[in-house]
């Protein structure tokens, strides 16, 4: 399998504080990777560097499909290939659900109005809320909004999807419906990097789990390796803390 | 709507009324005189700031003879009529000519000076008589005798345009710049003014037969008292001595400076009541075409300035937020300067100073440019606040989708920012429309200017009241709309 995303010696400083410390990572096409770790460990920072929402230090290198992730003309292409789903959904409140999903295909992919609408409706069907198409985001529940956000990211037909704690802002009874959608996506062969605190979910969907602490990747492996047989003390302590919760 | 309007009018009138009929100007001892200071040689300031001049000497002497104290207030020419009618001043001086119109609502003493109008130009600008002014722009003082004469004779001499100024100084400045070719005004003032200015020249006397007198409220006992004193002063040769003092030569023996004449009386002079004064239907009917013309200018100027201010403000705010650092700094300086500079000062600089570097704007353009520059600065700050109020996540979601800067702003950020900025933007629009009135100083015939002119010509403040009602009619709905929007957004925000 070919490598889709590659991070080499990626560092990130906020002033003198180092949020990422020598990150090296390869994500293969079709792989589903879950990222876990304590708060402040740099999980969000790492995945936000992949589509350059954060600028990483100049000595590092990130590529997506062999395109370098940096300011310039390729950036648009990179962002078109890498979708993102945020903790707080970040839907556009002044647009209907349908318009939210159609915007990028229309503007970036230059689809026709009909094409974009057909695509949007079929995606809404996939995430199970086709009947809400004409409503505005504020009229939907949190779980529904996050499913719209996933459909919006999918509308660009990206090679990879980044999730930053997609269920953390949801009421507990809505977590399941969103995880179900992501699980189904995993089966379709989309490459995904998922930052999550849902250990059970990570164990189910991930091909690989990464544990981060203090801006570093401390340990990685298959879910069985990492959850059942962690090698590092820090990993063990973290898992003990969250699983006893 | 209609009821609010009626109510607003009533409030204005209630506010104005106490200043008018009930106001007791001065004590019994003190006479309050209003004078358009700067009107040489009649009333002006010497280097010590003392008020001096022909008419100042005259009223001081008259007060002395009546055994009364005197206090002199500086009132612009256009304000003198309302000031007298409202009783804020007892006597108005400012080389005011006696006219039929004015006599309908004012009283005058017997005249003490026979005057004509005159044409003043810059030497060597090719204008040597009124005939040379065909197709040219002439300057006058708003509502003055010169204004009335020029208006009546515009067709005959083919003046391209009559520009109305708020006094001699700004009018002569524009004559000197060459923006207008001649200034039509009282001959004695201009002879005095050009005396020590070799580049200026009074080229023609315009016989209008004006006679200057002291103006007072209608049929007050003070009128005949002062009139009697003037007769005495003429007998004693005092007034002729003033003539010699201020003009260097004595007056001709047949003029009203020397001869005692009758007090002028109105043909149809009734004592005017409140309604005749402030809500005079006849005056309104006569002057409303002027007001409508002014209104159109005001709306044109307001709309143009608002729209170009919006465009400028939007561009500035985007530069301020997203451009390279040095550009941001420049724009910040621009915004700070244009939000602190008084519009009036900017207007005067643009209109009167720029011609010296070869940039000669018409009154309308000068006003539009000034209003746009200032409105753009305010709008920029409003837009910036609006854009900054949009959550960071909206920018990030747009970027993550690969939307370019143009689409991010156009499709996502600005549509949301607009809602936030509508109330402050509307307030800014209201300010711009109100500020158009400042364009009077550059002789632009906006609504307020037209109203002041109409007021001076008719010697009645009805046009001013009408103008106020017109301003209210289109600003009040905007004001009410903004408060409604603000209330609604507040409620939505609270949810
Ligand atoms: N803009 C910023 N300026 C300074 N420090 C920052 C900034 N953004 C993040 N940090 C710091 O960088 C570190 C990593 O933050 P990050 O958000 O990546 O953590 P995280 O692993 O996603 O945590 P959480 O689970 O709480 O979301 C934290 O210590 C955080 O305080
Ligand atoms: Mg995070």
Which residue's CA is the nearest one to ligand 1's atom 28?
Answer: A40
Q: What is the pLDDT of residue B354?
A: 87
Which ligand approaches the C-alpha of residue A39 most closely?
Answer: 1
Q: What is the pLDDT of residue B79?
A: 85
pLDDT computed for residue A90 by the predictor: 97
The lowest-confidence range among A123-137, B70-84, B150-164 is B70-84
pLDDT band at B149 (very low <50, low <70, confident <90, very high): very high
> pLDDT digit string (tens) for B472-485?
988 898 889 888 88
Contact check, Cβ <8 Å, A92/B412: yes
Query: Residue B466 pLDDT > 80, yes or no?
Result: yes
Q: What is the pLDDT of residue B223?
A: 93
What is the pLDDT averaged over residues B273-296?
84
Q: Which residues of B touch A153 (CB under 8 A)?
A: 400-401
Lookup: tokens for B64: 């002395």
Q: Do residue B396 and residue A83 have CB atoms under 8 angstroms apart?
A: no
| B8 has pLDDT over 60 | no
Q: Are B482 and B213 in contact (CB under 8 A)?
A: no
Decide if B407 and A156 are in contact by the 8 Å CB cutoff: no
A40 CA to middle of ligand 1, Å? 5
Per residue in B392-417, pLDDT (tens digit) is 999 999 999 999 999 999 999 999 99
User: With contact defined as beta carbons under 8 Å apart, do B204 and B182 qualify?
Assistant: no
Q: Transcribe B311-350 into DSSP letters.
A: HHHHHHHHHHHHS-HHHHHHHHHHHHHHHHS-HHHHHHII
Q: Stretch B456-476: mean pLDDT, rounded?
A: 87
Instruction: With a cut of 60, say whether residue B171 has pLDDT above it.
Output: yes
CB B38 within 8 A of CB B185: no
State the pLDDT at residue B274.
73
* pLDDT mean over B57-85: 91
Contact B411 A156 (CB under 8 A): no
What is chain B's percent helix, strand, coil content, to nearest 5? Answer: 60, 15, 25
Closest Cα to residue B138, out of B184, B187, B178, B173? B184
Distance A198 CA to ligand 2 centre (A): 14
Element (H, E) at B204: strand B200-212
Task: Give the distance from residue A128's alpha carbon to the nearest chain B alpha carbon, in angstroms.
Answer: 22
For B381-414, the DSSP string reads: HHHHHHHHTS-HHHHHHHHHTT--HHHIIIIIIH
Chain B nearest CA to A88, separation (Å): 8
Non-local CB neighbours of B29 within 8 Å, separated by 6+ positions = B68, B69
Measuring CA to CA, which residue among B165, B465, B86 is closest to residue B291?
A: B465
Residue labelled with tokens 């659900």: A97
Say yes or no: CB of residue A79 within 6 Å of ligand 1.
no
* Entry pTM: 0.73
Which domains are present in chain B?
A: 23-112+213-273 (3.40.190.10), 115-211 (3.40.190.10), 283-494 (1.10.3720.10)
Out of B397, B407, B411, the one facing A86 most closely (by C-beta) is B397
Question: Is A196 close to ligand 1, i.e. is its CB under 6 Å away?
Answer: no
Nearest to A79 among B401, B411, B419 (CB): B401
Answer whether B30 touches A (CB < 8 Å).
Answer: no
At B290-329, the pLDDT tens digits run 899 999 999 999 999 999 999 999 999 999 999 999 999 9
Residue A39 near ligand 1, beta carbon < 6 Å: yes
Q: Both ends of chain B: CA-CA distance in Å?
A: 31
pLDDT for B7 equals: 52
Q: Which residues of A touch B404 (CB under 8 A)?
A: 76, 107-108
With a CB-CB cutoff of 8 Å, which residues 417-436 of chain B face chain A?
Answer: 419
Centroid of ligand 1 to alpha carbon of B131 (angstroms): 82
Give Cα B379 to chain centroid, integer Å: 27
For chain A, list residues with pLDDT below 50. none
Task: Give dist(CA A151, CA A144) in Å, integer.
Answer: 11
**Would the CB atoms of B400 and A108 count as touching at under 8 Å?**
no
Q: What is the least distance, in Å, from the CA of A227 to any CA of chain B? A: 32
A142 vs chain B: nearest CA distance in angstroms?
A: 16
Q: What are B171-178's contacts with CB under 8 Å, separation 24+?
A: B171/B139, B171/B140, B171/B141, B171/B443, B172/B120, B172/B200, B173/B352, B174/B139, B174/B352, B174/B443, B175/B120, B175/B121, B175/B122, B175/B139, B175/B200, B176/B122, B176/B200, B177/B352, B177/B355, B177/B356, B177/B360, B178/B122, B178/B125, B178/B355
What pLDDT is recorded for position B390?
94
Q: What is the pLDDT of residue B195?
A: 84
Nearest CA in chain A to B405: A76
Band (B267; pLDDT cuts 50, 70, 90): low
Which residues of A lie inside 8 Å of B (Cβ-Cβ)? Answer: 51, 53, 76-77, 79-80, 82-84, 86, 88, 90-94, 103-104, 107-108, 152-153, 156
CA of A89 to the centre of ligand 2 (A): 14
Q: B399–A53: do the CB atoms touch at under 8 Å?
A: yes
For the record, the structure tokens of A124 come out as 């809404």
User: In chain B, what residues touch A80 (CB-CB under 8 Å)?
Assistant: 402
Distance from CA of B308 to the nearest CA of A (A): 27
Q: Mean pLDDT of all residues in chain B?
A: 87
Q: What distance in Å separates the CA atoms of residue A44 and residue B477, rounded to the nearest whole number?
A: 50
Rounded CA gap, A20 and A43, in Å? 9
- Amino acid B173: pLDDT: 87
Q: Which of A51, A53, A90 sits opposite B394 (nearest CB)?
A: A90
Contact of B394 with chain A, judged by CB distance below 8 Å, is answered with yes
SS3 B250: coil
What is the pLDDT averaged over residues B359-375? 93
Contact A84 B393 (CB under 8 A): no
In this predicted structure, the answer to whether residue B367 has a pLDDT above a threshold of 90 is yes
What's the rounded mean pLDDT across residues B268-295?
A: 79
Q: Do B401 and A51 touch (CB under 8 A)?
A: no
**A49 Cβ inside 6 Å of ligand 1:** no
Check if the interface score ipTM surpasses 0.90: yes
Ligand 1 atom nearest residue A12's Cα: 12
* Cβ–Cβ below 8 Å for A83 and B401: yes
What is the structure's pLDDT at B300?
Answer: 94
């Amino acid at each position: 399998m070919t490598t889709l995303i590659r991070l080499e010696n990626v560092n990130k400083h906020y002033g003198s504080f180092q949020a990422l410390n020598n990150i090296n990572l390869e994500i293969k096409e079709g792989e589903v990777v879950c990222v876990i770790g304590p708060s402040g460990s740099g999980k969000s920072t790492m995945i936000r560097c992949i589509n350059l929402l954060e600028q990483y230090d100049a000595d590092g290198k990130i590529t997506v499909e062999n395109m370098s992730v940096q300011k310039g003309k390729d950036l648009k292409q990179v962002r078109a290939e890498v979708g993102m789903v945020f903790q707080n959904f970040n839907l556009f409140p002044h647009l209907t659900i349908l318009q939210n999903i159609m915007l990028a295909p229309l503007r970036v992919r230059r689809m026709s109005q009909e094409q974009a609408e057909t695509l949007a409706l079929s995606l809404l069907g996939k995430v199970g809320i086709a009947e809400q198409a004409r409503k505005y985001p504020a009229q939907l529940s949190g779980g529904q909004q996050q499913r719209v956000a996933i459909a919006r990211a999918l509308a660009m037909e990206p090679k990879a999807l980044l999730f930053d704690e997609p269920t953390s802002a949801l009421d507990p009874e809505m977590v399941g419906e969103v995880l179900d959608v992501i699980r189904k996506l995993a089966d379709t062969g989309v490459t995904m990097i998922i930052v999550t605190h849902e250990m059970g979910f990570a164990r189910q969907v991930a091909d690989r789990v990464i544990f981060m602490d203090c801006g570093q990747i401390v340990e990685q492996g298959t879910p069985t390796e990492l959850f059942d047989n962690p090698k590092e003390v820090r990993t063990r302590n973290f898992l003990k803390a969250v699983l006893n919760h | 709507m209609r009821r609010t309007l009626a109510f607003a009018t009533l409030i204005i009138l209630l506010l104005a009324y106490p200043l008018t009929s009930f106001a007791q100007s001065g004590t019994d001892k003190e006479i309050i005189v209003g004078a358009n200071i700067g009107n040489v040689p009649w009333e002006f300031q010497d280097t010590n700031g003392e008020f001096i001049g022909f008419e100042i000497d005259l009223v001081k002497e008259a007060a002395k003879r009546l055994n009364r104290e005197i206090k002199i207030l500086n009132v612009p020419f256009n304000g003198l009529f309302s000031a007298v009618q409202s009783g804020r001043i007892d006597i108005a001086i400012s080389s005011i000519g006696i006219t039929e119109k004015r006599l309908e609502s004012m009283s005058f003493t017997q005249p003490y000076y026979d005057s004509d109008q005159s044409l003043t130009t810059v030497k060597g600008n090719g204008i040597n008589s009124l005939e040379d002014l065909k197709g040219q722009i002439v300057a006058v003082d708003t509502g003055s005798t010169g204004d009335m004469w020029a208006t009546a004779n515009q067709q005959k001499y083919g003046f391209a345009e009559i520009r109305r100024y708020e006094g001699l100084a700004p009018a002569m400045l524009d004559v000197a710049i060459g923006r207008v070719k001649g200034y039509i005004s009282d001959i004695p003032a201009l002879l005095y003014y050009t005396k020590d200015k070799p580049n200026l020249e009074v080229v023609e006397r315009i016989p209008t037969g004006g006679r200057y007198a002291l103006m007072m409220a209608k049929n007050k006992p003070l009128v005949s008292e002062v009139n009697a004193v003037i007769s005495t002063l003429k007998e004693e040769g005092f007034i002729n001595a003033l003539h010699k003092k201020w003009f260097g030569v004595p007056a001709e023996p047949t003029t009203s400076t020397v001869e005692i004449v009758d007090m002028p009386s109105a043909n149809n002079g009734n004592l005017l009541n409140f309604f005749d004064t402030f809500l005079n239907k006849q005056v309104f009917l006569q002057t409303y075409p002027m007001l409508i013309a002014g209104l159109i200018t005001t709306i044109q100027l307001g709309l143009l300035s608002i729209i170009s201010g919006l465009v400028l403000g939007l561009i500035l705010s985007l530069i301020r937020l997203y451009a390279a650092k040095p550009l941001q700094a420049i724009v910040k300086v621009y915004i700070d300067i244009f939000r602190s500079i008084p519009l009036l000062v900017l207007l005067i600089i643009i209109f009167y100073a720029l011609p010296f570097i070869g940039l000669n704007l018409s009154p309308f353009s000068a006003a539009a440019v000034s209003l746009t520059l200032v409105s753009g600065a305010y709008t920029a700050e409003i837009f910036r606040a609006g854009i900054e109020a949009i959550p960071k996540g909206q920018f990030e979601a747009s970027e993550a989708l690969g939307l370019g800067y143009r689409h991010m702003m156009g499709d996502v950020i600005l549509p949301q920012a607009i809602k936030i900025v509508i109330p402050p933007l509307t307030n800014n629009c209201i300010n711009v429309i109100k500020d158009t009135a400042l364009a009077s100083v550059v002789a632009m015939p906006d609504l307020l200017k037209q109203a002041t002119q109409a007021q001076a010509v008719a010697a009645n403040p009805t046009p001013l009241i009408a103008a106020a009602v017109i301003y209210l009619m289109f600003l009040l709905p905007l004001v009410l709309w903004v408060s409604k929007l603000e209330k609604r957004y507040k409620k939505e925000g609270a949810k």
